[in-house]
Amino acid sequence: MIKVGIIGATGYAGAEIARLLYSHPEAEVVWYGSRSYIDDRFASQYGNLFKLIDAKCLDDNMDELSRQADVIFTATPQGLCASLVNEDILSRVKIIDLSADFRLKDVSVYEKWYKIEHKAPEYIKEAVYGLCEINRDKVKSARLVANPGCYTTCSILTAYPLIKEGLIDPDTLIVDALSGVSGAGRGAKVANLYCEVNESAKPYGVANHRHTPEIEEQLSYAAGKEMVINFTPHLVPMNRGILATEYASLVKKDGHLADASDIRKAYEKYYGGEKFIRLLDDNVYPETRWVEGSNYVDIGFKIDERTGRVIMMGAIDNLVKGAAGQAVQNMNIMFGLDESMGLEIVPLFP
């Protein structure tokens, strides 16, 4: 039985990890860490787990936790994990960090976009970017995994095969993405109040959203060259979900402009055997309602022959595949378990 600690357990992502691990046959949570609710019962904050989880919330003492757990999930704001981790801790326990502290390989890029000093740059090179379907072989032997962001998971997976296969011009990629309000976290913010969000949709972080360099870095590896993209996120009045719509110009391959058959073959090549990526039928497009509560990624595409571009679309649940579910998937890989263990959840509807 894998002993698990969660730091940041009472945030949305941390609580989702707790929910998923409650039914995991090979994992047991031994520490629900929450600086804001020390000594409160975890279920007092999440009534859906009343009579299911009886534990009290503890603090964020990572050193002590590392002596009790086999793996620690840090579902915390940027900067906290980097400020706590050290060699002694990593010698005893594996860490899956859901913040951005170890996602970017250039510390100056991290500090520019997140506007904080990195407290543990010596671990950036070692950390494995935990996008399971692309980096699972590296995840297997990792002791520090940087769990990808929600927008980035959806945006990267939706475009990756076409960039990797050279079917689209990476310099033309544009990503528009919609997110539910839970993506902003559980903290009280005026902009996230019901009256501020309901019956409205808005772009935000225009040309400067901090997930931009993460998307660019990972897709640059696929392209084999540095990429710069336009990424525009939007907030929409729903609890969960991300829908990414991406546009890029098709390029010639084998003497002809890539067509629908080429596109589908590329997706099948990379994702045909993937449990959690569902490539939709022709003229069927992703909807957030069909992945809600699950670890699935739904992907569809459409070629616009008039403009010579392809429109790629992906949908995920931002709290599951975009955060907690992917973190548990990484844990399964790290400990040699069936990757889907504890995650074979049928999407919720309605």
Residues serving a catalytic function are 150
Cα–Cα distance measured from residue 103 to residue 117, given in angstroms and rounded to the nearest whole number: 15
Return the ∠ at Cα 238 (arms to 236 and 243), rounded to 5°: 60
Q: How many residues does the chain have?
A: 350
Q: What Cα–Cα distance (Å) separates residue 28 from each residue in 32, 33, 145, 299?
A: 11, 14, 20, 33
Residue labelled with tokens 């569902």:
278
Taking a C-beta distance cutoff of 8 angstroms, is the pair 58, 85 a contact?
A: no
Residue labelled with tokens 């599951």:
320
Copy the structure tokens of residue 248: 């890029």
Upstream peptide bond of 121 is cis (omega within 30 degrees of 0): no
Copy the structure tokens of residue 23: 């039914």
Cα–Cα distance measured from residue 39 to residue 254, given in angstroms and rounded to the nearest whole number: 64
